[in-house]
């Protein structure tokens, strides 16, 4: 598959066939993904391949209430966990196939980043910092793209970061590291390739963000 098609058609997969993913395939995926860019080429990522059923179950137990909180906010018409938006909605207990079947997901990766290796350019802004993530999320996305090249699919999730303190002890998160993602991979039951995304003119303007719409 050519790069342009891959970029335009790599949707999330959250349910997987029972086929196991050999360690050699996962190693090959990570070996491709490691070429992702990072600030100063510091490559601040660490990956834990979570095979232990006990650790996976604990992860799911930590993520489920966050999912319920998210769904409760959505049901009340709010954008959950967004900056500057307070949400006063009760959690809505909602099944989540990834978490319900976490023991059956072929690959579960916990991804962390060493904060000492990241230039957080907006670390002093009076809003939540954003720039640091740019040194690790391209790597996460490269994992999904590389997985696709190996016939796999999956999804990046972040809900475990809301329980980082508890997850840290379960996963042995090193000091000065942030837990940035949990990535689920496997042979997708269905590979979503028809992605819904806004058109370029909906988010691109000339000169300034309040400029005229950019179009070819």
Ligand X SMILES: Cc1cc2nc3c(=O)[nH]c(=O)nc-3n(C[C@H](O)[C@H](O)[C@H](O)COP(=O)(O)O)c2cc1C
Binding residues for ligand X (CB under 6 A): 11-12, 14, 155-159, 192, 195
Identify which of residues 68 and 213 has a Cβ nearer to ligand X in the complex: 68
Q: How far apart are CA 186 and CA 148, in angstroms?
A: 10
Identify which of residues 25 and 141 has a Cβ nearer to ligand X in the complex: 141
Identify which of residues 135 and 157 has a Cβ nearer to ligand X in the complex: 157
Q: How far apart are CA 95 and CA 88, in angstroms?
A: 21
Q: At its nearest, how many Å lie between ligand X and the CB of residue 79?
A: 13
Q: At its nearest, how many Å lie between ligand X and the CB of residue 70?
A: 8
Q: At its nearest, how many Å lie between ligand X and the CB of residue 142?
A: 13
Contact 80, 66 (CB under 8 A): no
Q: Any idea what the Cα angle at residue 82 is, between residues 117 and 194, rounded to 5°? A: 90
Taking CA atoms, 200 is separated from 102, 213, 214, 215, in Å, by: 36, 9, 8, 8
Q: At its nearest, how many Å lie between ligand X and the CB of residue 138?
A: 11
Identify which of residues 51 and 190 has a Cβ nearer to ligand X in the complex: 190
Identify which of residues 6 and 192 has a Cβ nearer to ligand X in the complex: 192
Identify which of residues 3 and 216 has a Cβ nearer to ligand X in the complex: 3
Containing H/E element for 113?
strand 107-114
Q: Residue 8 corresponds to which tokens in the numbers above?
A: 């335009």
Q: At its nearest, how many Å lie between ligand X and the CB of residue 184?
A: 9
- Work out the number of other CB atoms within 10 angstroms of the CB of residue 178: 18
Q: How far apart are CA 113 and CA 176, in angstroms?
A: 8
CB-based contacts of 192: which residues, under 8 Å, 6+ apart?
11, 12, 13
Q: How far apart are CA 175 and CA 181, in angstroms?
A: 17
Q: At its nearest, how many Å lie between ligand X and the CB of residue 64?
A: 12
């Amino acid at each position: 598959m050519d790069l342009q098609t891959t970029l335009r058609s790599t949707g999330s997969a959250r349910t997987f066939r029972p086929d196991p993913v050999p360690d050699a395939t996962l190693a090959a995926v990570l070996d491709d993904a490691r070429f992702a860019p990072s600030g100063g080429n510091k490559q601040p990522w660490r990956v834990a391949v979570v095979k232990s059923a006990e650790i996976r179950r604990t992860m799911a137990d930590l993520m489920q209430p966050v999912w319920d909180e998210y769904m409760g906010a959505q049901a009340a018409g709010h954008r959950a966990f967004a900056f500057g938006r307070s949400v006063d909605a009760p959690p809505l207990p909602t099944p989540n196939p990834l978490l319900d079947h976490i023991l059956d997901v072929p690959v579960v990766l916990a991804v962390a980043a060493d904060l000492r290796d990241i230039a957080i350019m907006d670390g002093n802004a009076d809003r939540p910092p954003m720039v640091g993530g740019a040194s690790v999320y391209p790597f996460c996305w490269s994992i999904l793209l590389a997985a696709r090249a190996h016939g796999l699919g999956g999804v990046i999730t972040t809900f475990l970061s809301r329980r980082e303190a508890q997850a840290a002890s379960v996963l042995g998160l090193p000091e000065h590291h942030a837990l940035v993602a949990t990535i689920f991979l496997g042979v997708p039951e269905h590979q979503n390739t028809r992605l819904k995304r806004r058109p370029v003119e909906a988010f691109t303007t000339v000169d300034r963000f309040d400029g005229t719409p950019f179009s070819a």
